Structure 1
Amino acid sequence: MPKNIFTRGRSLPLNRKHKIAVAGVGTLGAAAVALTAVPASGQTTTSEAAPTAKVAYSTEQIQDVHAGVTGQLAGASQKVASIEAKQEAATKTTSTKKAAAEKAAEKRTAKESTSRSAERAERAEAKQFPKKSYADNLDGWIREARDIMKKHDIPGTYEGIHRNIIRESSGNPKAINDWDINAINGIPSKGLLQVIPPTFEAYHVPGTSKNIYDPVANIVAACNYAADKYGTMDNVDSAY
């Protein structure tokens, strides 16, 4: 066994063999450092080029991310625009419906107000001019006919109307003449004052019956005709 080259408390001088061993260890350490410094396959061997490669790679990543974000923003903008358009359309629809409802409400209010005014006017008129009731006989028919004639400015006294009725039909509202020239021509005289249908239709007064046999309607139409042709029924003393 070789002797220990170290002694407690002091060092001994290196001989040639020891120096060669130390040199070998140094050489091996240098080689390890050199191997560690060798770059991997495909990497740049200069210290200045490595940062450039990293920067280029990072720029591509940023460009990809930027493109993705830009696309997302564009899609989001389209969605926002679509939502805003729908909201605007909904607002317009709501406004249109509200305006239509308000207009309809105004019309209803105006109509109701007009209706109430008309009702008040009718009640006032009814109170001022109470509706008369007439007897269902010759006297009642003449009186009702004269009240209607007054509203339409048709002249004729009670006596003149009564006199002509008695002569023409004897007071029978269903009387019909089936022998004179009118009957021969197919248009016989009818009713209390023996009016032919064409005359009744031409001088019919609105608000009265369109039935020629209705006593009141017959009297009013006949008096309207007599007023036009003779001035008044009072001037008629024979067939007219």
Structure 2
Amino acid sequence: MPARGKHRRPRSNAFTRGVLAAGTGGAALALPLTVATTASAAAPAQAVGSVQSAPQSAPAATLPKSTNYTVVSGDTLSSIARKHGTKGGWQRLYKDNRAAVGDNPALIRPGLKLKVTGTKTPAKKASTKPKASTATQASVKTYPDNLDGWIRESLDIMAQKGIPGSYNGIHRNIMRESSGNPLAINNWDSNAAAGTPSKGLLQVIDPTFAAYHVSGTPYDPYDPVANITAACNYAADRYGSIDNVFGPY
């Protein structure tokens, strides 16, 4: 998507209009807690002849874990990086596995072996067995890790932020701009020539993404949910809603 006041006419090419092997999903954000500490009082003197225990060492800091991952149908580098908490996102994952992936990070095949460095273990499926006092536990909404899930998660965030738009309006524009490829990039138009190629599901250029990024979403124009919400925020400001966009915008 060009910056305000600029228009472009997208055209199809093999990379930007290709069908992905998989997609990415939204990820929950964990906020660090700061714990205040106070100086402890000095320990009382040991009695003569008593044995003083050695001070315990502080627990070691959690380090990123390296593991091997086998690509399955529906995966993308972005979704794999999310699941494992890879610092640096899909770009780091691609850098570490470029020899195996090849020159096109948007195309990964099922069965491909990847080395993944992350800070968390992918969540396991929740048990279907009922638990005691579940009525008092707050439910957490989850979304499919695919185009449908990305749009629905974006719509929920947009509703919280007061950004207008409908499922059909978003889906229609995504299919025109990227064919549903979250890693799509336009390297041929005037924006690309100026050094700001259009990126992601709704083809947002970096300056527009920065100006209309929606808090609570990753600061990554290739992230599906972040890309959709930023683009819809821009469309709302310029056209009233993404539903009013039917061509290059």
Q: TM-score, normalised by structure 2?
A: 0.45
Q: Which has the higher contact order (CA 8 A, sep 6+)?
A: 2
Bigger Rg, which one: 1
